[in-house]
């Protein structure tokens, strides 16, 4: 509720600002028309009247006023665009609080049915954990967030996530940068690597060549002044300018065309990336773990600003007539090439680190926004211990929201928990709640529980096996392959592993399933593994080992089925399939 009020308040404030800027836009537009017409009018009057100096002054003043107003009009439009993007950001967040995540990246490209746990726990895909969390502005940030959620990278960041979540203004302005388009950081990296391979003549960056260029320009403008004064022929500055054009164009054209080929399609994204870096630099209170990284972004901001000047120069080269005059009058291409070489020498080797750092911050922003959106959550306690620890109070699945029924549950090292219960009683959801909250805990993200204490261990699940008939793999064979993957995973090294299983060997008959499941659990119990296993097979609850414990989700059968969704010790007594089918057949 508190976050909804915040978003509505922000949206309404922005709407008032937007209307103000819109009114200003109309005034500036009228100002542009008036100043331009005044410029034309004074020029016309100059040809008709004898007030020469005054009219020329007024005409020039009107022209300057036009460009001045035009400048503010562009800035005003840019500000209106920023406001629209922020408004859209808050609209999407309000929709997300109502359960509509359609505006956000599903992360489908990261889905992998062979991953140890992400496929079973709905980490990626439509309506997934990733879609609920990701607010990434860059594709590199999306990849980094996916790495954290899949444990390809593990970094506990609770303090940093908490720090940023307390700065919602900065946080959501960062997210708003992604409304226009996502920054393809991989494409930017490829462009940077391509520019690293681009070898321009090194003498172009030398002080001696800079002095030569300065002398050429001084000589050119001196000849121009002398020609105006009638001291030298007008042909001198004309031919001088033409020679300057061929000098600048001839020495640099081929190299600048190659550079343009690397970055021409990325100019807009580069500018967006520069704006992101500038926004990062504006953060007043930086998370302690990222202090040095944010300081490094100061150099990155300078670097990208210099690169933007090079990009602007490349952009101007598209105008052939403009290129001729810029090279003739200013040796523009020579200075453009010189600036690029100096940028190459000073910064290019650091670019990968800076791009990676922005991706890291981008992922962190998404996790901080998720924490801000869920103030009812808590921070897990992650302990360093050799034994596997999982102690939860009031645990529930993050997808359920206000409808969630919470449960207390603890997993002891080397112990196994057989969970029985009827269909739809909550077994699978509970298993996913254990796994998803552990993924959150290890990343320092908020967990959906009253309290959660965990150690660092590996995670493997088998809950959603599918056949692959196109490759001749039956459902039962797919189950066996998954269990083989589980065993290989648990045998890799002497590290604690938690396995989460939902119905072992579903693809075979009841007796075979029971015997096979017992055999499998007996074997895996000798590995450094703990397990939570959901099953409909009540016979599996009779495992004769001290380290096997029985829990259940019981239902009540009366005129209708009542689900409590509370886990209790013991074996389920009631099943609902026959009851529900009888009611179906009566209808």
3-class SS string, 86-112: HHHHHHHHHHHHCCCCCCCCCCHHHCC
Provide mean pLDDT across the span 39-57: 79
- Torsion over CA: 20, 25, 28, 29 (sign): negative
What is the maximum alpha-carbon separation in the chain? 114
- Kindly report which listed range (20-24, 70-74, 191-195) carries the lowest average pLDDT score: 191-195
- Summarize pLDDT for 418-464 with one digit per residue, the tens: 999 888 888 999 999 999 999 999 999 999 999 999 999 999 999 87
Band of the pLDDT at 130, cuts 50, 70, 90? very high
Q: How far apart are CA 229 and CA 221, in angstroms?
A: 12
pLDDT above 60 (res 467): no
pLDDT at 470: 43
Starting at the edge strand found earlier in the chain, the sheet holding 561-569 runs: 458-462, 497-502, 529-535, 416-421, 548-557, 561-569
Provide mean pLDDT across the span 394-408: 92
pLDDT at 346: 80
Provide mean pLDDT across the span 402-415: 93
Q: How far apart are CA 198 and CA 196, in angstroms?
A: 5
pLDDT at 198: 77
pLDDT above 80 (res 266): no
Starting at the edge strand found earlier in the chain, the sheet holding 451-455 runs: 381-383, 451-455, 390-395, 407-411
Q: Between 301 and 18, where is the model more confident?
A: 18
Q: How far apart are CA 104 and CA 440, in angstroms?
A: 19
pLDDT at 189: 83
Run of H or E including 140 = helix 139-149
DSSP 57: H
- Summarize pLDDT for 555-573 with one digit per residue, the tens: 887 778 788 899 999 998 8
CA 505 to chain centre: 39
Q: How far from 384 is each of 442, 495, 497, 518, CA to CA, in Å?
A: 12, 13, 15, 32
552: left (phi over 0), alpha (psi -120 to 50) or beta: beta
Run of H or E including 266 = none
Residues 6 or more apart whose Cβ sits within 8 Å of residue 533: 416, 417, 418, 419, 499, 500, 501, 502, 504, 521, 540
DSSP 551: E
End-to-end CA distance of the chain: 42
Q: Kindly give the pairing relationship between strand 446-447 and strand 378-379.
A: antiparallel
Residues 6 or more apart whose Cβ sits within 8 Å of residue 452: 378, 380, 381, 391, 392, 393, 395, 437, 441
- Summarize pLDDT for 164-197 with one digit per residue, the tens: 999 999 999 999 999 988 999 888 888 777 777 7
Provide mean pLDDT across the span 300-323: 80
DSSP for 335-393? HHHHHHHHHHHHHGGGHHHHHHHHHHHHHHHHHHHHHHH-TT-EEPEEE--SS--EEEE
pLDDT at 503: 85
């Amino acid at each position: 509720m508190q976050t909804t009020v915040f978003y509505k308040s922000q949206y309404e404030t922005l709407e008032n600002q937007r209307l103000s800027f819109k009114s200003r836009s109309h005034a500036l537009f009228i100002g542009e028309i008036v100043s331009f017409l005044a410029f034309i009018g004074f020029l016309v009057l100059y040809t008709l009247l004898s007030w020469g100096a005054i009219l020329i002054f007024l005409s020039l003043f009107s022209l300057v006023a036009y460009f001045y107003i035009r400048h503010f009009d562009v800035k005003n439009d840019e500000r209106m665009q920023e406001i629209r993007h922020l408004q859209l950001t808050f609209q999407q967040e309000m929709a997300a609080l109502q359960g509509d995540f359609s505006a956000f990246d599903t992360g489908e490209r990261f889905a992998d049915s062979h991953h140890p746990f992400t496929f079973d726990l709905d980490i990626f895909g439509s309506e997934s954990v990733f879609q609920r969390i990701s607010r990434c502005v860059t594709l590199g940030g999306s990849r980094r967030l996916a790495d954290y959620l899949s444990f390809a990278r593990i970094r506990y960041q609770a303090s940093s996530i908490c720090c940023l979540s307390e700065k919602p203004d900065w946080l959501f302005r960062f997210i708003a940068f992604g409304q226009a388009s996502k920054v393809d950081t991989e494409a930017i990296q490829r462009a940077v690597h391509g520019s690293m391979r681009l070898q321009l003549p090194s003498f172009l960056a030398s002080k001696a060549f800079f002095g030569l260029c300065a002398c050429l320009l001084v000589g050119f403008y001196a000849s121009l002044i002398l020609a105006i004064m009638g001291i030298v022929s007008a042909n001198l500055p004309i031919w001088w300018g033409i020679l300057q054009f061929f000098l600048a164009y001839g020495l640099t054209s081929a190299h600048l065309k190659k550079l343009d080929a690397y970055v021409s399609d990325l100019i807009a994204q580069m500018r967006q990336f520069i704006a992101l870096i500038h926004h990062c630099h504006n953060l007043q209170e930086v998370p302690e773990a990222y202090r040095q990284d944010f300081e490094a972004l100061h150099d990155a901001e300078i670097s990208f600003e210099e690169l933007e000047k090079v990009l602007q120069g490349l952009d101007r080269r598209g105008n052939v007539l403009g290129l001729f005059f810029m090279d003739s009058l200013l040796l523009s291409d020579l200075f453009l090439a010189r600036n690029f070489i100096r940028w190459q020498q000073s910064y290019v080797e650091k670019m990968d680190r800076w791009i990676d750092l922005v991706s890291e911050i981008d992922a962190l922003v998404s996790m901080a926004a998720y924490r801000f959106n869920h103030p009812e959550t808590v921070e897990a306690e992650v302990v360093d211990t050799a034994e596997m620890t999982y102690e939860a109070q009031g645990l529930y699945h993050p997808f359920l929201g206000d409808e969630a029924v919470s449960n207390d549950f603890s997993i002891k090292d080397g112990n196994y928990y057989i969970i029985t219960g009827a269909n739809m009683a909550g077994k699978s959801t509970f298993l996913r709640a254990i796994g998803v909250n552990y993924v959150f805990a290890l990343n320092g993200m908020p967990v959906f529980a009253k309290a959660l204490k965990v150690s660092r261990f590996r995670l493997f699940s088998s809950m959603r096996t599918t056949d692959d008939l196109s490759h001749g793999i039956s459902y039962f064979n797919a189950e066996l392959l998954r269990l083989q993957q589980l065993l290989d995973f648990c045998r890799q090294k002497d590290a604690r592993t938690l396995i989460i299983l939902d119905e072992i060997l579903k693809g075979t008959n009841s007796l075979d399933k029971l015997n096979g499941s017992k055999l499998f659990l007996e074997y895996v119990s000798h590995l450094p593994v703990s397990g939570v296993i959901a099953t409909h097979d009540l016979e599996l609850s009779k495992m004769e080992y001290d380290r096997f414990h029985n829990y259940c989700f019981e239902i009540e059968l009366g005129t209708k089925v009542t689900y409590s969704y509370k886990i209790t010790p013991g074996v389920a007594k009631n099943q609902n399939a026959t009851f529900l089918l009888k009611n179906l057949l009566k209808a």
